[in-house]
Every structure is written in structure tokens, then in C-alpha cells.
Structure 1
Amino acid sequence: MIKTFADLDLDHNLLTAIKEMGFDRPTQVQAEAIPQALDGKDILASAPTGTGKTAAFAIPALQYLQDFPRKKAGPARVLILTPTRELAMQVADQTRALAKNTKLNVFTITGGVQYEEHADILKTTQDIVVATPGRLMEYIEAERFDCRAIEWLILDEADRMLDMGFGPTVDRLSAECRWRKQTLLFSATLEGRGVEGFTADLLKEPAEIDAEPSRRERKKITQWYHRADDMEHKLALLKHIITEQAKRSIVFLKTRERLGDLRAELEKAQIPCAWIQGEMPQDRRNNAIERFRDGTVNVLLATDVAARGIDLPDVSHVINYDMPRTADVYLHRIGRTARAGKKGNALSLVEAHDQPMLDRVARYIKEDIKERFVKEMRPKHKKPVFKKKNKKKVEKKNAKKKVAKKKK
């Protein structure tokens, strides 16, 4: 049973760096993935953001490079693919922090960087390269990047790469790295497109790891909801919470349009906020995240697409201004708080039509989500009760419809 990082048979220089980064004991995904990766197995892991997955692949990769040191200078031996530039930078920063007591080099190759900068990197000895698929493919096609030396291929947020249309590019990159020894694939979920969108020969008899955040991890997050009579009431509740209760909040919305409307309302109320949404220029995204990170603003509005994979420290509250479309997205959202052993809060602002979704979420996480009230802002309407559909009745009804159609 692995309880501490010392149980993982790692080099002293790695253990020192891990300790200095404030990691006390391995998370579930780390405890399961690191030993199997070091045993030479391919890894297929489901690990939502906030479960420590970066360290789950960076630690064994760094240990491998030290166990099998290179004989002479040359190109990268470990390639980590991430869907976005921001995530690439985050992964590279964390990997560098873990490698700080070694002589290993970690570089990034992403869009939005001048070719000259990358050309300088590609001339030097690299050990680990963290890259976005599109830009890396350009360099491979121009014969500027050599995949023949790659021994480990790691895919981070594989499901998001598929969502962004990178499936074919990743398959081509996999073929270019065909001499590799191991492949590690990390995805938020293992169902559906999480893996099936890639070619079947990407992984060879992988060890499967399903690391849902444990109940103990989730216990660090206090969850509750407020009922709202209408949009006006909902906005009043939000303003009260972000000005009176929350220190640093991420507020989630369903669409860019809804985000734009809320932004205008907060500006009117002179509540400063930053925002990130899909299809936003990279420099503006980085700027918004930086302003939230350094405390210039304490409210970040986000859509789900934009917020995937972003690691923001010290978020005290995650606020679901709009309920997500599915229960697993709810888990991703609330995982933005209570990171690195800290406690956090997750609250939802729920109109009558959101009640069934809230019930679905409670069933999915196997926990009750309690209702709370703000004094002077209690809802005027009664809590709606939705009848659960009787499965058998629905099936009977559908069968009758089919028969009727056939008779026609």
C-alpha cells in the first residue's frame, strides 16, 4: 500500500523537490499510475483536473530519464502533448519544479511563439518537450523536430484534444513516434470520446486507472445551493456572495452570451472581474488569468470550454451561476477549489427549471446538497417537486407508439 512518496522508490533529488512543492502524500492517481509507469506499462487513466495528474506522469518520466541516462547530447526523449498553450506552460512549469535538482531540460513548443525562439531550443539538448499538437506537427513536416528519439509519449487531457479536433494530428504524431517504449494517456473520462476517438494501436495492453476524486477529497469542499425566483433574484444573490462572503471566486456560465450579459451587470455594479471564454485570443486569455492569479481581480467568469485544465491557486468559491449540462461537468467545476490540500466552497444558484439537474448531480456524487438562505433574500416561491418518470410506464408508452407506427 503506497502512503507516502518515499514508498515509490524514487531518487532522493525527486523526493526533495516533491517535498519542497508541498506535496505530502500521493493522490489516488499518483499512487496508482507512478509504480505501473515505472514498471514499463502503458497507462490509460481517467483523472479529472485537481487530482494531481501532472505529477502522476511527470514524476515517473523524470525517474525514467535518471534510471536510463542519455549517452550523448540529442533530441527529446519524452514528449508530452497538451491541447492548449496555457496547459503546456503549466505542465512544463510543474515538471521543471520537480526536475530542479537534476540536470534535465524541459522545453515547450506551442503556437503563438516566433519560429526563431523554437529554432534555438531545437538546436540544444532537450529531455522533455511539452507541445501542442498543431505546432509540433508543423515542425515535424518541416523536418525540424526528430521523433525517432522519443521513448515516452504522454497525452494530457486527451478528451479535450478530440473536442478541439486534434484526433487525426495526434494519430499522426503517434505514428511518427512509433519507436517509443511507452504511452501514457490521461483523460477526464474514459467513456465515449475520451479514448475511442484515437486509433486502437495508440496503447498496448494499458493499465487502466479510474481516479475519481475520493469522497475524502470532496469532503474538503463544502457544497450547497441557493434557490432563486428569477434572474433578478439570482443576480442579487450572486452580488451579495461575491462581495460579502467569497474571497476569490470562479463563476461558471453556460454560454458566451450569458457570460457577456453577466459581465455587463457586474460592471454596472462596479464589481471588477476578469473573464475567459472559448475562441478568445490567447494573449487576452493569458491576461485575464494573470489578473485573477495576481489578485488584481477576485472574480473570474468562465465558460466550461475555456476553463478546462486551468490550475488557479487559492480559489475560495466556485459558483455555478448556470447549472452545467451534465453531472460530471459539475465535478470538474467544483474541482477548481480545495486544491493542494486546502478547503473550499462550491455553491449553485438554482432556478425552478434547474432543480432536476441539481437532483441528478446529487445522485451522481452520492451526496446530499443542502439548501442555504441569505437573510432578506429568501425565495418567495415554493421548492418545485418533479415527479420521477416511471421507467416501465415510459417503456410501455414507447412500445405502443412503435406498434401504432408500424400499423400505419
Structure 2
Amino acid sequence: MFEQLDLDDKLCSAVAQMGYTSPTSIQSLVIPPAMEGKDILASAPTGTGKTAAFLLPVCQFLLDFPRQQPGACRVLILTPTRELAVQVYEQAVQITQYTNLVCGVITGGINYGTDRDTLAQNLDILVATPGRLFEHIEKESFDCREIESLILDEADRMLDMGFSAIVNQIAAEARWRKQSMLFSATLEGAGIARFAKDLLNEPVLLEANPSRKEHAKILQWLHLADDIHHKYALLKHILEHQVTSAVVFVKTRDRLNQLKQMLERDGFTVCWLQGEMPQDKRNAALANFKAGEIKILLATDVAARGIDVENISHVINYDMPRTADIYVHRIGRTGRAGKKGTAISIAEAHDMGIVAKIERYTNQRLKRRVIDELRPKNKEAKPPMKKKKPKGEKKKVKKPKKNKR
């Protein structure tokens, strides 16, 4: 129970209102040391309650040590994407609903007048994307000196997006802080280790091992496609007969526009997310999808993280991702908070290389599925076998050359 974590009754009432009955594994691990003021370096699979794991202890700190006078932001949460920033902000508002704590959000794509209104408030918690926040720091319209807690969410994604230098500069501006927390889907790699070394002070290392109840229950399978026409026919059949709500991933904006036109021509209603899209349109697309008004969301990998929509029944890889870790982030949009989900990949012959890499990375084979009326004509290409030497054939040993004097 959340009460056993020494959380204020107002926070416990809020999480009960949000439908949480008991802490998840990452929350049980993070909240006690975070409430002691220790720096945290933590990893947890997506959809296991990570956001509340850092929001609850900082909210408790703000309640335990209330402001004595008006001032600047006290808790800064940095996220790599606009969508994730908005979602963290919305959860912060829910968690603080029975308190007087003030939350705000700043992201790129919103006009600066809105930012000014946000920053003019007596902010307790600010959620922001690094690029836009750093603009305000340079313009001296945001003051880092009163930040007491700095939280980096999805730090691995920040590194992937090239934010490490800006984040380090923001952290340097907030050097009087008392606590830092870094959360990442994985703690592997030299990049995260350097990030943690630069930003954290003797952190507590926490890696959640979610219970079966929390763990994503994602069925994964693969349809083999003979060509692009067969691939589209498979997608149409899946969308018509299997899906209640789906995120369909494609690799480029051009491919997204092409697929959107084809689906709309065939009577499907879709919304979409892609890079360099005006923020109001991105917000509208997500709102329509979250509300269930539109069942199909087309997305490039800009949406592979940070979209937290309940009850997504399917993730469909219409185009296979470039790397195996992107595959894992994509399919994490379904099967969230212990619910069941399905991830379907549609692969042509040229995709089988990345399929093999995904199977090695996830340590499981993607089950092959067939739709009777759309059976592939071509057989799956098998990876080339290493040639074995005939038995009894001795390995030739090169004799060392004699030195001529």
C-alpha cells in the first residue's frame, strides 16, 4: 500500500483516485531512497509506473518543505519528446490534485507567449523538453538557481537525440540542487555511464524486475510478405478483422503520407504523428486517438517512445525498424501496465536480416502467422549455413619460411 511508503494522505488519495491500489516494483524500489534525498540511477521497462516513481517522492519533499515566499521552479523534469513532457505534466497534475502545488509544462512547437504565462506562475514543478528550456535560460527568462531536484526521464532517448550537451549545460545552471534522478529504459552502454557520472552524486542503482502482473503481456508474431502489394493487403486484413486500436509504424514521412492516402482511399479513418509537425496538430492527433474517436494512428519513430495511451490492442510494424532496440520501444506502446497486447510485424525478404537481429536481441523467435486467403507464395529464406570441412580433412599448417642469410 502507498500509505506504507510514508506518503502524505493527499498524495495517497490522489493515486487511489487514479486507480492505483499498490506500488509497482519500480515505485517500491525508488520511492524510499528518493525520499531520503539520495541521487537515483534507475531502469524499468516501459509501462511499469516509472513516472509516479519519481513524482511521488518529489511531491512529498515539496509538501514537507513548503515555500516560505514566492519564487522560481523547485523541481525540474526533463523529457526527450514533447508528447512525453505533456504526459508527465498531466500525471503531475493528477498526483498534486489535492495539494496547492503548481505544475507547468514547456515544450517546443508552442508559442512563447504561452511559455511566459507558464513561467510567470509560482511554479513548484516544471516539465520541459531540453531545447526549448535552454532557450529560456539563455534569454534569462528562466532561473535555475532555485531548482532543488533535477529529474531526467528516458535519458537513453535524450542521448540518442543528441541532447547530452544541452542537458549538461542545464544541469550546470542548476548546480545548487540537492538531488538528481536519472531514469532510462536500459543502463547499458558507455553513454549512460558518462551521463550518470556527470550528473549524479553517489547514486543508488536500481533496476526493476517487474512482477508477472506488471510485466507487459505482448504476443509477437510475423507475417511474411511477397512484395509491397501483398504487404498492404496483409495490413488491410489485420486492420479490418483483428484491431480495436493500433499504432502502425512506418520508416519515413514519405512512406507515412503514401500509406495514409492508400488507407483513406480504402475507407479507413486514420490520424498520424511524424517529425516536424506543428505541435497543435500533434496534440489533436493524440487527443483523437486517446479518446477512441480514431482507431488507427500512423507514426514514424518520433512516436516510438513517450506515447502512453491505454488499451492499444496492436502495434503493427508495417516497415521494420532500423535496429532491434527501436523494435522493443515500438512494441512497448501496447501491453502496458500488465494488460495484454499484440505486436505484428510484416516483413519482406529484404527485412529478414533485421528480423534475425530482433530475435537475437529479444531472445525469442517471432512466431510466423499466415492468413489463409493471403498466403505468401515465396518461402522464407534461410540464413546461409557455415561450410563444414569433411571429416578427416586436416587443417593445412603453413610452414615457417626459412631465413635466407
Same fold (TM over 0.5): yes
Give the superposition deviation at 1:389. 5.8
User: Structure 1: which 5+ residue stretches go unaligned?
Assistant: 391-408
Q: Which residue of 1 aligns with 2:360?
A: 363
How far apart in 2 are the matches of 1:310 and 1:22? 19
User: Quick check: 1:12 aligned with 2:9?
Assistant: yes
1:31 aligned to which of 28, 32, 35: 28
Q: Which residue of 2 aligns with 1:95?
A: 92
Q: Which residue of 1 aligns with 2:395?
A: none
Give the superposition deviation at 1:197. 6.4
Q: Which residue of 1 aligns with 2:145?
A: 148
Give the superposition deviation at 1:338. 1.9
Name the TM-score, length of structure 2 as normaliser: 0.87
RMSD: 2.5
Using a 3 Å threshold, how does the CA distance of structure 1 residues 41 and 353 change in structure 2: closer, same or farther?
same
Equivalent position amino acid for 1:158 in 2: A
Give the superposition deviation at 1:328. 2.0
CA deviation profile, 1:159-189 (whole Å, cap 9, x unmatched): 3333333322211111111110111112233
Q: Which residue of 2 aligns with 1:190?
A: 187
Q: Which residue of 2 aligns with 1:241?
A: 238
Using a 3 Å threshold, how does the CA distance of structure 1 residues 41 and 55 change in structure 2: closer, same or farther?
same
Give the superposition deviation at 1:269. 1.5
Match of 1:340, SS state, is helix
Equivalent position amino acid for 1:257 in 2: D
Equivalent position amino acid for 1:38 in 2: M
User: Quick check: 1:343 aligned with 2:337?
Assistant: no
2:48 aligned to which of 51, 66, 76: 51
Give the superposition deviation at 1:215. 6.2
Match of 2:221, SS state, is strand
How far apart in 1 are the matches of 2:375 and 2:349? 14
How far apart in 2 are the matches of 1:239 and 1:218? 30
User: Quick check: 1:307 aligned with 2:304?
Assistant: yes
Counterpart contact for 2:39–2:180, Cα < 8 Å: yes
Give the superposition deviation at 1:237. 0.8
Counterpart contact for 2:225–2:231, Cα < 8 Å: yes
Counterpart contact for 2:272–2:297, Cα < 8 Å: yes
Counterpart contact for 1:162–1:197, Cα < 8 Å: no
How far apart in 2 are the matches of 1:298 and 1:246? 8
> Within 5 Å, which residues of 2 pair with 1:56-135?
56-135=53-132
Counterpart contact for 2:27–2:52, Cα < 8 Å: yes
Using a 3 Å threshold, how does the CA distance of structure 1 residues 387 and 27 change in structure 2: closer, same or farther?
farther
Q: Which residue of 1 aligns with 2:382?
A: 385
Counterpart contact for 1:276–1:307, Cα < 8 Å: no
Q: Please, which moves more after superposition, 359-368 or 257-266?
A: 359-368
Give the superposition deviation at 1:95. 0.7
Q: Which residue of 2 aligns with 1:294?
A: 291
Counterpart contact for 1:162–1:193, Cα < 8 Å: no
Q: Which residue of 1 aligns with 2:391?
A: none
CA deviation profile, 1:355-375 (whole Å, cap 9, x unmatched): 343333233323343222212
How far apart in 1 are the matches of 2:63 and 2:378? 64
Greater Rg, structure 1 or structure 2?
2
Give the superposition deviation at 1:306. 3.3
How far apart in 2 are the matches of 1:10 and 1:165? 36
Identity %, equivalent residues: 57
Q: Please, which moves more after superposition, 69-78 or 111-120?
A: 111-120
Give the superposition deviation at 1:316. 0.8
How far apart in 1 are the matches of 2:334 and 2:13? 26
Q: Which residue of 2 aligns with 1:281?
A: 278
Q: Which residue of 2 aligns with 1:263?
A: 260
User: Quick check: 1:232 aligned with 2:229?
Assistant: yes
User: Quick check: 1:329 aligned with 2:326?
Assistant: yes
CA deviation profile, 1:286-323 (whole Å, cap 9, x unmatched): 22222322333211111113332121222111111122
User: Quick check: 1:376 aligned with 2:373?
Assistant: yes
Give the superposition deviation at 1:104. 0.9
Give the superposition deviation at 1:99. 1.0
Using a 3 Å threshold, how does the CA distance of structure 1 residues 194 and 319 change in structure 2: closer, same or farther?
farther
Give the superposition deviation at 1:194. 4.8
Q: Please, which moves more after superposition, 364-373 or 318-327?
A: 364-373
Match of 2:55, SS state, is helix
Counterpart contact for 1:139–1:145, Cα < 8 Å: yes
Match of 1:208, SS state, is strand
2:160 aligned to which of 159, 163, 166: 163
User: Quick check: 1:207 aligned with 2:174?
Assistant: no
Name the TM-score, length of structure 1 as normaliser: 0.87
